[in-house]
Structure 1
């Protein structure tokens, strides 16, 4: 099996995300293991400490850009949103070339998550940062990547948690490690 497309010059990936509580992340890992075994998938489920829902990418860099981190942190302090519940009630593979992500997703689009996605993009744009905005944004939590595809199906028990903050994550590419560089509570 071929690995995911990899740029050897990229050592730091920055993105904004919401992160589930530990118990919820462990529930997601267990679902991933069960689905993987049922469908004979060859890849391991991501560790619980890497479970997240990406909201907006900040960028991929050869080294951690302190100026970008500072600007992103300043911009994110302007975001205002209320805490909200995330419900992922299905599991499926996304078509993504040769490495298909197996994800948890919701059957109904979360308007609160979409609003947060839009607000983050606006603040990044205002600060002069690269930003992503996708009107078809589909919040999801990636469990693993595999060549095989899993058809969409509902979960017997949905995965739920209250989102009370969003974070700026520094992914140390190739090491499977995250550093949290900023946290912003959802207060309204």
Structure 2
């Protein structure tokens, strides 16, 4: 077997090991209901995909990046300062449809989405984006509120689904161990502002 060619200065980049993102979690009863719905969805699709466990179901408000060899402390500190500056009243969220984030006809994630029921998530995302900009973190305007149910699902048209509704009273900063399906909450911020 031939040896791999090595060129100075062209080393492979280090593996990404740690992710950082802001998220909103459903309460435990709602998460259990969403998990049961995801199980039915996987069974109906007759695929080997496994639904996400109830304790992993969340809405990503803002992905902050993936890093090699741990999270950069200054970046985490800046994100924490930004989150502490967000002031917003609690709100209700409702997801009432299921769709695919796959490129037709490939398999991909099956997700729950909503229309008017996710307006509060848009407002929270926008407030967080403004606060992140104030601490020097570049904006990312793309945001589609969703709850991922399972990966590797066949492509499907958007269709109505059993509603998942909960009161959003806080958001959290999450440390994700990339590729190991492990999330750790670094900090939480209650929504205590006025409407």
In the superposition, the TM-score normalised over structure 2's length comes to 0.85
Q: Deviations over 1:17-67 (max 9, x none)?
A: 111111111111111110111111221111111110011111110122122
- Structure 1 unaligned regions, length at least 5: 1-6
Contact 2:98 2:110 in 1 (8 A): yes
| Inter-partner Cα distance in structure 2 for 1:125 and 1:107 | 26
Q: Classify the secondary structure of the residue corresponding to 2:94.
A: strand
Cα 1:178–1:88 shift into 2, 3 Å: same
Number of aligned pairs? Answer: 179
User: Larger radius of gyration, structure 1 or 2?
Assistant: 2
| Inter-partner Cα distance in structure 1 for 2:164 and 2:123 | 21
Pick from 4, 26, 41 the counterpart of residue 35 of structure 1: 41
1:151 to partner: Cα distance: 2.5
- Answering whether residue 190 of structure 2 is matched by residue 166 of structure 1, we say no
Q: Classify the secondary structure of the residue corresponding to 1:174.
A: coil
- Answering whether residue 190 of structure 2 is matched by residue 185 of structure 1, we say yes
Cα-Cα RMSD: 1.8
Q: Which runs of 4+ in 1 moved over 6 A?
A: none
2:150 maps to: 144
- Structure 2 unaligned regions, length at least 5: 1-12
Q: Deviations over 1:83-124 (max 9, x none)?
A: 111101111112358552101111336222111111111111
Q: How does 1:69-88 map to 2 (within 5 A)?
A: 69-88=76-95
